Structure 1
């Protein structure tokens, strides 16, 4: 499993609209092969900051299956205009501590 993490900085005054658009966009990402789940966290210290966490079966499910899909084009149209600056997306894997 791969965990995608993105810190989203939403432009001032647009958080309510962003959250509504994100609800609509959630159906797009969840339809992709290899998608395992996601959550959106709202920062307590900064009202315009969100943390997006998405679980994927593998890296390619995000970087190829999703980003090269028509659903991603709709995702971009729904969400990308809210961000300033544009988010950096990073991918993580669990560390075996045994």
Structure 2
């Protein structure tokens, strides 16, 4: 299992519109092969910063499958106008786990 980690800096004042757009966009990513789940969290100290964690079966499911798909263009159109600057996206493999999944 791979975890995609993205800090999403949303333009201040556009948080409500971003969350509405994300509600529409999440069905796009959820329909992709290899998608295993996601969480979107809002920062309490900086309300325009969001943390997106997406679980993928394989790294390529995200980097090649999703990003190379026509559906990704729709995802981009819905969400990318809200970011300033563009998010840093990184991928992680679990090496240790205790507790309940997030």
Shared fold per TM-score greater than 0.5 = yes
Q: Tell me the TM-score normalised to structure 2 length.
A: 0.93
Q: Aligned residues, how many?
A: 97
Structure 2 alignment gaps of length 5 or more: 98-102
SS in structure 2 at match of 1:95: coil
Alignment of 1:81-96 (within 5 A): 81-96=81-96
CA distance in 2, matches of 1:96, 1:8: 25
Report the CA distance between 1:21 and its aligned residue. 0.1
Give TM-score, length-normalised by structure 1.
0.96
d(CA) in 1 for partners of 2:42 and 2:96? 29
Counterpart CA distance in 2 for 1:96 and 1:90 is 18
What displacement does 1:2 show? 0.2
Give the match for residue 33 of structure 1. 33
Where in structure 1 do 4 or more consecutive aligned residues deviate above 3 Å?
Answer: none
RMSD between superposed Cα atoms in Å: 1.0
Output the CA distance in 2 between the equivalents of 1:88 and 1:12: 18
